[in-house]
């Protein structure tokens, strides 16, 4: 059995929620690249990135208020806007915008650097990964490189640069979220999605984006899928993990999702799985295991 008790605020009674959150994140976000591609057939990028988060965030906030949850303080709202800016505007917004010109394989390769950015930013607060985590991160990155050897690595330099900035923005926001005053539990997810989604929509408005009058059925269904699985389930699971496990584990989805995306492509689109891809998946699986079972303590300066 995995010893999750080494993580902050984790005891024997809540190992199961962490496992469920990880599985939800791995599965829900593995298909988002394909869904974003379909959504971009009709919808502009910032609308695709922002509308679903603001919609889900608003719905969650109203639901929680009806259930009697207290309203966030001004400081908590400010923290939610800051984290929303890094995660959803800089992170998700950057990825969706880049996917207009960058292939999904290349995007997966670059976004897979998120765990590395995360542990480097965590070092700003002297929370460095232990040796086993470093090994897992290196193994995972090697697996991602192998996974994309047979993919389309020819991309626009501006798109690749934007993806790097998006990964760094998401990583910094993830680490910073452990230091800011934020609402508790589900209210944190609701306010961050609302604030971040609003910021992305504002950027889209000022860049001249307009909602199409007659979007295609596939694009509309893709946007709905992103709202439910990418935002409601995926983001809620991610904010829970950020509060309860080390950053390296919370961002390990960046290594697992490309593997699941390859399997999904083989199943849905009859894409070929090569021998190189199989070795890459084994390396990524090993990296995830190393990250999960590696550290015994948290080296946190707080």
Strands (E), 37-182: none
Indicate if the pLDDT at residue 120 is higher than 60.
Answer: yes
d(CA 263, CA 46): 28
Question: What are the CA-CA distances from residue 216 to residues 33, 54, 102, 106 (Å)?
Answer: 18, 22, 22, 26
Average of per-residue pLDDT across 45-55: 95
Token representation of residue 140: 């995972």
Give the pLDDT confidence score for residue 128 in this predicted structure. 74
Sequence-distant (≥ 6) Cβ neighbours of residue 110 within 8 angstroms: 160, 163, 164, 167
Rounded Cα–Cα distance for residues 284 and 255 (Å): 6
Higher pLDDT, 150 or 282: 282
**Which pTM value belongs to this model?**
0.79
**pLDDT reading at 302 higher than 90:** no
Retrieve residue 161's tokens. 């640069």
Q: At residue 77, does pLDDT exceed 50?
A: yes
User: What mean pLDDT is reported for the chain?
Assistant: 82
Q: Using the predicted structure, report yes or no on whether residue 5 has a pLDDT greater than 70.
A: no
- Cβ pair 103, 151 in contact under 8 A: yes
C-alpha 244/C-alpha 143 separation (Å) is 27
- For residue 296, give the nearest of 1, 8, 70, 71 by alpha carbon: 8
How many Cα atoms within 13 Å fall on the side-chain side of residue 221?
Answer: 4
Higher pLDDT, 288 or 105: 288
Question: Residue 276's pLDDT is what?
Answer: 75
Looking at per-residue pLDDT, the higher value among 89 and 282 belongs to 89
User: What percent of the chain clears pLDDT 90, i.e. is strictly above it?
Assistant: 43
Q: What does the alpha-carbon distance between residue 299 and residue 133 come to, in Å, rounded to a whole number? A: 12
pLDDT digits (tens, 9 = 90+) for 188-199: 999 999 999 999
The tokens for 254 are: 């960046």
pLDDT band with cut points at 50, 70 and 90 for residue 9: very low
DSSP state of 190: H
Q: Kindly tell me if the per-residue pLDDT of 135 is higher than 60.
A: yes
* pLDDT given at position 220: 95
Q: What is the pLDDT of residue 301?
A: 31
* pLDDT at residue 16 tops 70: yes
Q: Binning pLDDT at 50, 70 and 90, where does residue 201 land?
A: very high
pLDDT band at 112 (very low <50, low <70, confident <90, very high): confident
């Amino acid at each position: 059995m995995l010893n999750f008790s080494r993580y902050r605020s984790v005891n024997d009674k809540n190992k199961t929620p962490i496992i469920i959150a990880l599985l939800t994140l791995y599965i829900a976000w593995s298909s988002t690249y394909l869904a974003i591609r379909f959504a971009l057939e009709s919808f502009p990028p910032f609308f695709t990135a922002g509308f679903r988060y603001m919609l889900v965030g608003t719905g969650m906030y109203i639901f929680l208020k009806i259930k009697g949850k207290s309203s966030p303080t001004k400081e908590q709202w400010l923290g939610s806007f800051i984290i929303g800016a890094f995660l959803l505007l800089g992170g998700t917004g950057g990825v969706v915008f880049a996917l207009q010109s960058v292939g999904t394989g290349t995007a997966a390769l670059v976004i897979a650097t998120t765990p590395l950015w995360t542990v480097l930013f965590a070092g700003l607060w002297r929370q460095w990964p232990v040796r086993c985590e470093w090994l897992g991160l290196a193994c995972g990155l090697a697996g991602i490189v192998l996974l994309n050897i047979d993919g389309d690595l020819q991309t626009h330099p501006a798109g690749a640069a934007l993806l790097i900035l998006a990964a760094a923005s998401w990583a910094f926001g993830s680490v910073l979220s452990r230091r800011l005053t934020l609402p508790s539990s589900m209210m944190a997810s609701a306010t961050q999605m609302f604030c971040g989604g609003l910021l992305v929509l504002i950027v889209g408005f000022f860049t001249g984006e307009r909602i199409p009058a007659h979007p295609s059925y596939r694009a509309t269904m893709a946007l709905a899928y992103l709202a439910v699985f990418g935002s409601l389930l995926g983001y809620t699971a991610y904010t829970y993990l950020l509060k309860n496990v080390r950053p390296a584990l919370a961002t390990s989805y960046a290594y697992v999702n490309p593997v699941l995306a390859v399997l999904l492509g083989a199943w849905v689109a009859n894409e070929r799985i090569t021998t190189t891809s199989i070795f890459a998946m084994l390396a990524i699986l090993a990296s995830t295991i190393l990250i999960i079972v590696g550290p015994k303590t948290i080296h946190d300066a707080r």
